[in-house]
Amino acid sequence: MDIKAFLKVLNKYKWLLILVPITAAVITFFLVKNLPKEYSSEAQIATGLVDQSKQVVGAGTQNADYFKINQQFSNIIERMKMRRIMSILSYRLILHDLENPKDPFKPYSPKLDSLDNNQRQELIQIFNEKLQQKSVVTILDNKGKFKLYDILSSMGYNKEDLEKKLNIYRPDNSDFINVNYVSENPKLSAFVVNTLAIEFINNYGRDVNTNQNNSIQLLDSLLKKKESTMNEKNAALKEFKMKNGVLNLDKQSEIVYTQISANEERKAQAIREIQANLMAIADIDAKLNGRSGDSFSQGNSTVDNRAIVNLKNQLKEANDAYIDGNFKVSDKKRIDSLSRLIDRLSSRISDGDVTNPIASRQGLIQQKLALQTAVSQAKGSIKSIDNELAMLKAKYNSMVPFDAGIQNYERDAELATKDYMASLDSYNQTRTEQNIALKLQLAQVGLEGPPMPSKGIIYIGLAGIASFFICFVSVLIIFLLDNTIRDSRQLEAATNSRVLGSLNYMNDADLSMRNVWNDNKNNPEYTAYRDLLRSLRFEISNAFESDDTKILGVTSLNDKEGKSFIASSLAYSFAMIGKKVLLIGGETEVVKSNSKELSLSQDFETFLVKRQIQTEDLITVLNKNDNNSSLLEMQNAKNLRAGFEVLRNEFDVIIIDVNSLRDINIAKEWLLFTEKNIAVFESGKSLEDRDKELIAYIKDQPGFLGWVLNKIQLKKIK
């Protein structure tokens, strides 16, 4: 959004933005200056939901659930607004006015004032009955002798009217609920908040007690059923155990299984002992029979002993020879050899325990007998172990059928017990909640207070602000919906092209360029037009000089946008700087003839045929055919270019008033022979969808210089 343009629009409508809010504020002032005074009264209800001092010790040890607390406050507030509670308040209000005709809260309405004393007494009785029954006020109450609903509505005591000025809220996450009411009578305000608070506390307490008693009765009945079921299941379990002689099947089966495992281990140990003893007996037999390499016979031991005795004799002879032979080395070697043989035989006899061969053999025989005895004992113990295992397994197998049955009984008893305990917990919790239930209290009664500050100033301010905002939004909407182009910046943005200049609108009906240029009265429109036209002429002259061109085409998107006037004005402007100008088309009335200007009328079509033109001193005009005939139908393009070449040699500047782009077929033919082009757009118009194609076409022309914004208001030119 163009902020500057919007500010200009705001400036245009500034008096509307000023006068409308002032008018609205003044009207509001006269409407609210006689507003009656209003009185506010407020009562406070303490809930105990947040106040820890009102809670039971231990109940507040858990973290506060703020969501739950907010939900409880919301529920309480909504219950206060229930139609049943509001109906009680309506009955209290109407009964007060009927029972105190000299001091009612409000003047009697026509419906109530039209009743006589007997009818009012009857009406009092009816409302008292409804109050005792706590009936809800509905439209159906109009079907009786008295239209009760209409009577309450006429006094403003129905639910809808009361809620308009009633405000029930929780202030700043506190433990209180505030009940606020505003009316034109301070007594009425205090009566409403106090009555509503007290009636709600009483009804809320009764409802809570009733609901809790119903819950306790239901839980008590359920608890008794659960207890009966639990006792039945436990009795069935006990009877099953007694009938089958089972005290603790799990423990008993565990003991039997442990005994079976112990006996199986004893049997395995006995088998291992038998195998070990049999292997030992086999080894002893092998030794006794000489198969093991050890000899326990008498002959073998004697041979070894005799060999040792023989070697010792030989050793003695060797020692004697060694001494007698003067210690010869050979004798020494023989002694050493005999000593080694004796040592070797002695060692073998020692390893084989041949010190007493008969004793060793006897020991092996005794060891064999002991092992055979141990084997016999082990085999005897295996038989007793097998008998005991058979008895234990039979006992264990007899317990298996009871296991499935007793598990079912125990599972049923356990589930029944758990169910009973859960019901008991719910029952105890409900009884506890009943004792420590939420107890609402009237913490502060509503009092009669002074009148509230007048809201007249607020209403006046709101009226002024609201009317200003409405006007501002209206101006904004007008600006956003306004697609008209009024300045060069908007035109440049809309066409995405350069804007060469702007020309102001002139109101003079008998307009000629001589009057514009020779103005001695300092007409601001003439002065501005001359200056803007000079600026435009400067831009075009620079374009001509840059590439030595002379032919300028002036066109526009639509007719009557002032292109012909601008073409004539440019011709006059170039003539003022001494240029010899040819104007093809244009408005000849603008260029009034004098001694140095146009005096003869010539046609462009005639020039094309004769190739003759009578030039004037500065400005020569060739009129175009008004029938919009085709150039290419009169002459071919080659001849036309030759004709324009003649004109280029004759004149300094050639300005052609080209048809508007609406006549695109004619405009295209003329634009074939122009060297530079400008397009005129009238200020205050908007671009349509069909104009976009024409804009794209003129922009694509190689000699297009830009746009000229025409007929702009003088006060908008900066």
Residues 6 or more apart whose CB falls under 8 angstroms from that of 337 comprise none
Please, what is the average pLDDT of the chain?
79
Q: Give the pLDDT score at 322.
A: 67
Q: Are 577 and 536 in contact (CB under 8 A)?
A: no
Q: Write down the pLDDT at residue 297.
A: 45
Q: Where are the domains of the chain?
A: 1-35+467-482, 38-210, 297-351, 484-716
What stretches of 4-81 adopt beta strand conformation (E)?
A: 39-46
* Residue 110 burial class via C-beta count within 10 angstroms: exposed 0-12, middle 13-18, buried 19 and up: exposed
List of E strands, 229-298: none
Q: In degrees, to the nearest 5, what angle opens at C-alpha 692 toward C-alphas 700 and 569?
A: 70
The answer to which of 43-52, 178-187, 599-608, 697-706 has the lowest mean pLDDT is: 599-608
User: In this predicted model, which residue has the larger pLDDT, 36 or 357?
Assistant: 36
Read off the pTM: 0.47
CA distances 665 to 402, 556, 632, 658, 681, Å, are 114, 14, 11, 11, 20
Q: Which phi and psi (to 5°) does residue 588 adopt?
A: -70, -20
pLDDT for residue 595 is more than 70: no
Contact criterion met (CB below 8 Å) for 153 and 161: yes
- The tokens of 357 are what? 């061969």
DSSP H/E element including 677: strand 676-682
Provide DSSP, 470-514. HHHHHHHHHHHH--EE-SHHHHHHHHTS-EEEEEE----SS--HH
- Note the residue count of the chain: 718
The fraction of the chain above a pLDDT of 90, given in percent, is 13
Identify which has the larger pLDDT, 452 or 53. Answer: 452
Amino acid at 439: K
Q: Angle, nearest 10°, between helix axes 298-324 and 357-435? A: 120
The model's pLDDT over 128-169, given as tens digits with 9 standing for 90+, comes to 998 898 888 888 888 888 888 899 898 889 889 999 899 998
CATH top class, domain 484-716: alpha beta
Count CB neighbours of 105 within 10 A: 20
Strand partners, 1: none
Q: Residue 718: is its pLDDT beyond 60?
A: no
- 631 burial class (0-12, 13-18, 19+ CB within 10 angstroms)? buried
The model's pLDDT over 379-389, given as tens digits with 9 standing for 90+, comes to 777 777 777 77
Q: Which long-range contacts (CB under 8 A, 24 or more apart) does 25-31 make?
A: 25/460, 25/461, 25/463, 25/464, 25/467, 27/463, 28/459, 28/460, 28/463, 28/464, 29/456, 29/460
pLDDT (tens digit per residue) in 217-228: 777 777 778 778
- Type of residue numbered 499: V
Displacement of CA 561 from its chain's centroid (Å): 56
Strands 551-556 and 676-682: parallel
Query: What does the pLDDT look like over 70-86, one tens digit per residue?
Result: 888 888 889 888 888 89
